[in-house]
Amino acid sequence: MIPQYSSALLISDIHLTPSMPLTAQRFFDFCEKDAPEAQAVFILGDLFEYWVGDDAAANSPFQQEVLHALAKLSTKTKTYYIHGNRDFLIGPAFLKKTGMTLLADPSYVEIAHHKYVLSHGDALCTADVGYQLFRSIVRKPWIQKLFLSMPLQWRRSIANHLRSNSHSQYQAEANKSPLNNNVRTNVTLEACAALMRGQSADKLIHGHTHLPAHHQEQSGALTWQRWVLSDWDLDHPDRTTPRASALSIDSQGVRYLDLIKT
């Protein structure tokens, strides 16, 4: 049976890390004040900047603070989670302690009598062939088991190395050809159409791309609406406009909530 709720808040790409304290504080405030007003909360991936295993949380005061905020939220409203590309190693131990329910990517839900397909979004970026190959490898259970068997310090070192390489490659591509880079790292119409064709819904919500917008899309006779969730960043005003928003769905419709002004 699919989840059914009269109201919901959806967020993604918070990228929580101790080095972004303003963003983290806004997330804690969201859990305490904003989220309990909805019947359900859906976190569509990349809650953390990176995740190297549930055992790492026990040694991190910051991750413990996040865990406690989520556990408290889960006692007030139903909270769901979809893995992102940064934290797909969040496992049963962390989910159990937070009270969150893991959803598959993609998942089908009903909110305010309308049906939606929910996804993190990285699997829809099919023009980025290199990333899709990397994704197919690291999502293999035996690869994850091997990684999680390594000493914690090794895992952190590998994660930091991958993040550094990814950022450097993205910046190089963006400087060389910003238009082509945006196309390559965005979702493709073909991937969205293939996903929606297999679902009895005409509404798609995802994150990952950091390009919040509402789209009306069509492929042949198939039409659908697509909402993209915002990433959160309140700590780098020198590089970007502060961002933090949620998608609200209830009987009044679908709308973006600016969490900076509230």
Domain extents for the chain?
4-258
CATH architecture of structural domain 4-258: 4-Layer Sandwich (3.60)
Task: Convert the pLDDT of each residue in 43-90 to its tens digit.
Answer: 999 999 999 999 998 889 999 999 999 999 999 999 999 999 999 999
| Dihedrals phi, psi of 190, to nearest 5 degrees | -65, -40
CA 144 to chain centre: 19
Residue range 190-234, pLDDT digits in tens:
999 999 998 878 999 999 999 999 999 999 999 999 999 999 999
Q: How confident is the model at residue 169 (pLDDT cuts 50, 70, 90)?
A: low
- pLDDT tens digits along 84-130: 999 999 999 999 999 999 999 999 999 999 999 999 999 999 999 99
DSSP 8-state class, residue 30: I
By 3-state DSSP, what share of the chain in percent is helix, strand and coil, each rounded to 5? Answer: 40, 25, 35
Predicted TM-score of the model (pTM): 0.92
